Chain A
Amino acid sequence: MTTMTMTGDAAMASPQDSPLDAPLRPPAPGAAFPHDTQAPQAVPQPGLAASSSTNADAEWLRKAFKAILPPILGIALLIGIWYVGSAGADARIPGPGKTWEAAVALFSDPFYREGPNDQGIGWNVLASLERVAIGFGIAAAVGIPLGFLLGRFATLSAMVNPIISLLRPVSPLAWLPIGLLVFQRADPAATWTIFICSIWPMILNTAQGVTRVPQDYLNVARVLNLSEWKIFTKILFPSVLPYMLTGIRLSIGTAWLVIVAAEMLTGGVGIGFWVWDEWNNLKVEHIIIAIFVIGIVGLILEQCLVLLAKRFTYETP
């Protein structure tokens, strides 16, 4: 409680702070959290309150340390291995230093355009994201309703399941020629490939979610004699939502995996094409940068959906 009050005071006092302790304050975002602030230490306070808040700070620091240290060690290890692997005189892979320099140069101007085959990395990533968004969006629009139908009607499910089992394990790239044949252009073919490979998890997870709706809730619906529409909006949809979001997360992951491969084959603008282009230019450090960029974008997409899923996960009895 004391900590909270002090934080509040410290935060409110900040405009009139003396120039002496102002630089000691951590940057603004931390101030939002009661245990986050360093202010009580920076401004000496007499008595118990100060020491208890120092304890809380120490506790918080220890926890943060514990949470952050292992990942940092892991990344340091990776970079170390990379460094050693690229250290030899005849090493073919550029080392971390060289890659870093190239990355700084590359990201100093991510959005330049010099002809259709020479654009900044920002444009390439955005182009890939756009393809993923369109292909994935259509897949969601088709897959989720289909999943609901399959979950609700056993006959339909028995009819469609063998088809899904047959088509799902097919490598996405095997669909690319079909797309090229039907659409006659590279871009829709890549979108088509994203569509076909990201639709399965959404169908299957949604369908599973529908069959897993707790019988208790369905009994409630029967006793209350709810209309089909109410059953859908008040019971079916909310209970299926977590399953659906899992399907969406898996789908986005697959879509992002596939887009790189698809773009390598279809060309144009996009991170996958860019990787291939840099390979032809023998700029290996750019390929390594691309690997990091692809990884980070994938991570961000995944984390956004994890957050979304958390918001819609309900504690069930």
Chain B
Amino acid sequence: MKKIVQIENVGQTFDTKNGKFVALRDVNLDIREGEFVTLIGHSGCGKSTLLNLIAGLTKPSSGSMLCDGREIAGPGPERAVVFQNHSLLPWLTCYDNVYLGVERVFGGKEGKAKLKERTHAAMALVGLSHAEIKYPHEISGGMKQRVGIARALAMEPKILLMDEPFGALDALTRANLQDELMKIMAATGATTVMVTHDVDEAVLLSDRVVMLTNGPAATIGEILEVKLEHPRNRLALANDPHFVECRAAILEFLYQKQLKKAA
């Protein structure tokens, strides 16, 4: 299958007051087209750092990163990001927030009517057609995150990058959005990399779970393939032997091999 993102020997060091801090080292990972990959690990292990590297928001200190065969030189709409805190602009309506990205990506080659149609379609995809004229502070946290997803998907990115998108939500809303996300993924087939610290979420959504070792100098510890058919159903999976097995494998990695000493 076609490789969308290729990460080779990537390392990331930051200059801090106390000298150099090695956040990531020797990261090698290929992300294939249509695949859903989650990055999981203890907090501070560099999951978000790796995601920011793919997004192009930061540049790696060493190694090479390719997206669709081309060097990742900076951020761009073909690698859309769903931010942890949604980052919707509070002075624009939900519709205008989505339109901003649509206009940038397709404005050069398509008419106004087509751009509007795309925006409406994206809002419909996340089930928020009724909230288009609302401002971000008028809707719930879960809805904001859905608008964030709509904004990212409306740009038709090659890859969707999600940085703990459901981290700030309560458990019920999170489960709802996970189901919603699975439907959206089934409909669009978007290639996705998602950062999470939720084991169930990782297994439920992913084709592959990438487990990172503890920082500093974190790297990929294990990669787990989740061989479950899509579409998945969280209730049916609860007792599925492979689901349980995957879950146990991740837990073992996180809590035995990479036990984080109490800070």
Residues of A at the B interface (CB closer than 8 Å) are 216-217, 219-220, 222-227, 230, 234-235, 238, 314-317
Contact = CB atoms under 8 A, between A and B. Distances in A.
Contacts of A230: 100, 104
Contact of B81 (A219, A234, A314, A317): A219
Chain B's interface size range is: 20 to 34
B157 to A, nearest CB: 9
Contacts of B79: 223
Nearest to A227: B104
A317 B147 CA distance: 14
B75 A314 contact: no
A222 B75 contact: yes
B56 to A, nearest CB: 8
A269 B76 CA distance: 60
20 contacts: A216-B83, A217-B89, A219-B83, A220-B83, A220-B87, A220-B89, A222-B57, A223-B76, A223-B77, A223-B79, A224-B100, A225-B77, A226-B104, A230-B100, A234-B92, A238-B91, A314-B90, A314-B91, A315-B90, A317-B86
- Prevailing SS type, chain B contact patch: loop
B87 A224 contact: no
Contact of B75 (A217, A223, A234, A235): A223
A172 B120 CA distance: 56
Contact of A225 (B76, B87, B92, B137): B76
A234 B87 CA distance: 13
Q: A interface, by DSSP: helix, strand, loop or mixed? A: helix
B94 interface: no
A219 B79 CA distance: 13
A223 B57 contact: yes
A235 to B, nearest CB: 7
B89 A235 contact: yes
A243 B26 CA distance: 45
B100 A226 contact: yes
B221 interface: no
Contacts of B63: none
A261 B85 CA distance: 50
Given A234-B92, A317-B85, A317-B90, 10 more contacts: A219-B81, A219-B87, A222-B57, A223-B55, A223-B76, A223-B79, A230-B100, A234-B89, A238-B89, A315-B90
